[in-house]
Structure 1
Amino acid sequence: MTRRSGGSRLPQVAGACFILAALVSMAGSLWAAANPLSPEDLANQTANLTAGEVAFLYVCSLVSIWAQIFTLLGGIMAYQRSNWRLVVVCGVFSLLTLGFVLVESSILGALGLLLVLASRREFVS
């Protein structure tokens, strides 16, 4: 796929934002898995939560893991300027990623999504 003459670099910047968002989110997930809470700390942090709320937190972490995969895919596709609609869908998933302090991956994903939306004409399809 060749770059259009006079085209901007917005899709590549958007792809870099998506890839960085996915990597930060993956690093946060790996850090959390490598440093689990002790049973006492877990009991203290979930003492005021119902079982449904704890289950909801586990579901959110699984959604974040799937969103990481879609965000990485969207980043690669945006960098290649391949399929605009699928990149937008992956960009929406990037808003569901969780990082080290919850929001940095989502902010990078939102920035990438805005850049993709602004560069619609730069994509092949």
Structure 2
Amino acid sequence: MNNVYFRVYDQGGEVVSKTSFDPTDSVLSCIDPLSIPPPRTVASLKTSLNQAERIFGLEFQLFLDDNGETLLNDGDTINLLSDNYPGISEADLMAVPYNQQQKIKEQKQKITKQPREFSKTIRAN
């Protein structure tokens, strides 16, 4: 069984990967297909990529190819035992673009929220 290969992108282009394995190509990444929990769907692959790349809280999509032409749907099944699954080789890797602006917007919203007012008082004895 081969690895699952991918490249991560944000609005600025390629992003240095946290799972890079090639010192000459720090954006080329891969994960072990056995790290993808059953049922092996695009949604479970996204969960594994999320954990591997630590892109929690960011909206991202998976594209079948590095050109970003074919979007994979969360319910699509991935047959890792076949010789034709998304990201099967470095030549047939997936694109993983994410929206960094979404994370920045969420962080700004957290900072600007007003403190809560509580209706109950606390007494210490």
- Normalised by the length of structure 2, the TM-score is 0.25
Q: Name which one, 1 or 2, has greater alpha-carbon Rg.
A: 2
User: Which structure's residues are more often strand, by fraction?
Assistant: 2
- Normalised by the length of structure 1, the TM-score is 0.25
User: Which structure's residues are more often helix, by fraction?
Assistant: 1
More RCO (CA 8 Å, sep 6+): 1
